[in-house]
Amino acid sequence: MSGRVRTLVGFVAIAVILGLAPNIQESLEFPRFYLIFLFTMFFWISQASSWNILTGYSGYFSFGQGAFYGVGVYTVGVLVVKQGWSFMTALPVAGLLAGLTGLLLGLVVFRVRRLTGEIFALTTLAIAFVLASVARLSTFIDGGTGIFMTGTPLPEFLGEFTTAAYRLTLAIALITVVVAYLIHDSRLGWGLFAIRDDEPVAEGLGVPTFRYKMVALGANALLAGLMGGVWSLQLGFVTVDDVFNIRVPLFVILMSVLGGMRHWMGPVIGAVIITTLTDRLNSAGLADVNQIIIGGMLVVLALAVREGVYVRMRRRWLTTAVTFFGVLGLATLLDLNDSLISDFAYAMVATVVVMLVPDRVWAQFADLFRRSEPVEEPTEAEDLTRTGP
């Protein structure tokens, strides 16, 4: 139990440190950009983690992150801008509505007996288009004109706008990761893992599969919607095309595949890495090529890195630490460019590349360098996601 307590204390510490970042930024006069970079990262950490609660833990592949996120964004947009609600009242409603959307979806699809997994995946793919269609048609929601979010009043205690946005995204991200963590090593989590490995067998052993799947789906949808609600402020001008496009579902898949879908830290690591890399690619003017690279990475990762880099990072922790801090230090010293983020980017890329080395090759290296510590072959199977019943 002390492991749990330690981790939760760790979360609190991180919350406090990160929460004070705006104050640090102001007093040390770091560029405002760093705050924006950080809360973009929080956004993705939250989205990837909530997605993973469903797909990674239960194996039910969801393309629907964009749909749930979109419900969150538009709920806040409509309630606050068009109906005059206060932001803090609208936000929980956004989460609840998104959660409800997920549950309704589950009620229909999870009852299907055969091919549930595949049909679920494709239905989640289609649902975003349907919701986009609804939003476009309904003048109550969007009607094709979009919603202006700028100038939305926020509660005083959150501070001025960027700081407020920062703190809100931090809060939601923390909640999401803590939820993912708590589920991971709980009865619910193990039930989900069993469902992922072999659902009919799990059901036969007493796992209430329908109920657990609904919980995972509901949690995913609710958290995605909550973060969507907060993010609507950041978007400024909300349009159907911008909200319901392929970006959100694509990135969360990529981040979780990269980081690893078996552990709650996987999506976090993946989100940190991808956010940093895309930021650097954008500032280098490579924004167009961005999507091709993302798609390419997805293909390569799905093939090459079964369990995600996080698990490998833990196993090869010493090398990870050495590589990361080594390259970071080198980059800072050599002053290759003026952005601290770039230095981190180099360190991350270097570490990821090292992690991509297959275990078999690694084992040979390890034998050469270190004392005879037995390096285990990964015993987990290759599936990233489940196969259907």
User: Looking at beta carbons only, is 130 or 321 nearer to other proteins?
Assistant: 130
- Angstrom CA distances, 85 to 13, 76, 89, 94, 293, stand at 34, 9, 7, 12, 41
Helix (H, G, I), strand (E, B) or coil at 148: strand
Q: Which residues from 299-358 bind other proteins, rule CB under 8 A?
A: 299, 302-303
Tell the burial category of 1 from Cβ atoms under 10 Å away from its Cβ (0-12, 13-18, 19+): exposed
Distance in Å, CB of 136 to other proteins, minimum: 5
Distance in Å, CB of 239 to other proteins, minimum: 14
> Chain centroid to CA 318: how far?
26
Q: Which residues from 235-264 bind other proteins, rule CB under 8 A?
A: 245-246, 250, 253, 257, 262
Residues in binding contact with other proteins, number by CB under 8 A: 74
User: Looking at beta carbons only, is 91 or 128 nearer to other proteins?
Assistant: 128
Q: Is 112 in the site for other proteins (CB under 8 A)?
A: yes
Q: What angle do CA 14, 353, 282 make, to 5 degrees?
A: 70
Q: Is 127 in the site for other proteins (CB under 8 A)?
A: yes
Distance in Å, CB of 187 to other proteins, minimum: 6
Q: Is 159 in the site for other proteins (CB under 8 A)?
A: no
Q: Is 388 in the site for other proteins (CB under 8 A)?
A: yes
Q: Lay out the site mask for other proteins across 71-110 (x = CB under 8 A, - = otherwise).
A: -------------------------------------xx-
Overall residue count recorded for the chain in this entry: 389
Q: Is 139 in the site for other proteins (CB under 8 A)?
A: no
Q: Is 287 in the site for other proteins (CB under 8 A)?
A: no
User: Looking at beta carbons only, is 136 or 315 nearer to other proteins?
Assistant: 136
User: Looking at beta carbons only, is 373 or 382 nearer to other proteins?
Assistant: 382
Q: What is the C-alpha separation between 270 and 253, in angstroms, rounded?
A: 10
Distance in Å, CB of 40 to other proteins, minimum: 20
Q: Which residues from 197-216 bind other proteins, rule CB under 8 A?
A: 197-198, 200-210
User: Looking at beta carbons only, is 89 or 133 nearer to other proteins?
Assistant: 133
Q: What is the C-alpha separation between 353 and 375, in angstroms, rounded?
A: 19
Distance in Å, CB of 343 to other proteins, minimum: 28
| Cβ atoms of 256 and 70 closer than 8 Å | no
Q: Is 129 in the site for other proteins (CB under 8 A)?
A: yes
Q: Which stretch binds other proteins (CB under 8 A): 36-44, 159-167, 295-303, 353-361?
A: 295-303
Q: What is the C-alpha separation between 215 and 226, in angstroms, rounded?
A: 16
DSSP string, 247-260: HHHHHHHHHHHHH-
User: Looking at beta carbons only, is 88 or 246 nearer to other proteins?
Assistant: 246
Which residue's structure tokens are 């995946």?
121
- Helical residues (DSSP H) of the chain, grouped into ranges: 2-19, 21-28, 33-58, 65-76, 87-109, 116-137, 161-184, 187-204, 209-235, 240-243, 247-259, 265-283, 290-304, 309-315, 317-334, 340-356, 359-369
Q: Report the largest interatomic distance among the alpha carbons of the chain, rounded to a whole angstrom.
A: 69
User: Looking at beta carbons only, is 367 or 383 nearer to other proteins?
Assistant: 383
Helix (H, G, I), strand (E, B) or coil at 238: strand
Distance in Å, CB of 350 to other proteins, minimum: 23
Q: Exactly one of 20, 137, 286, 334 binds other proteins (CB under 8 A); which one?
A: 137
Helical (H) or strand (E) element with 147: strand 147-148
Distance in Å, CB of 387 to other proteins, minimum: 6
Distance in Å, CB of 36 to other proteins, minimum: 25
Q: What is the C-alpha separation between 305 and 272, in angstroms, rounded?
A: 18
Q: Which residues from 23-62 bind other proteins, rule CB under 8 A?
A: 61
User: Looking at beta carbons only, is 147 or 230 nearer to other proteins?
Assistant: 147
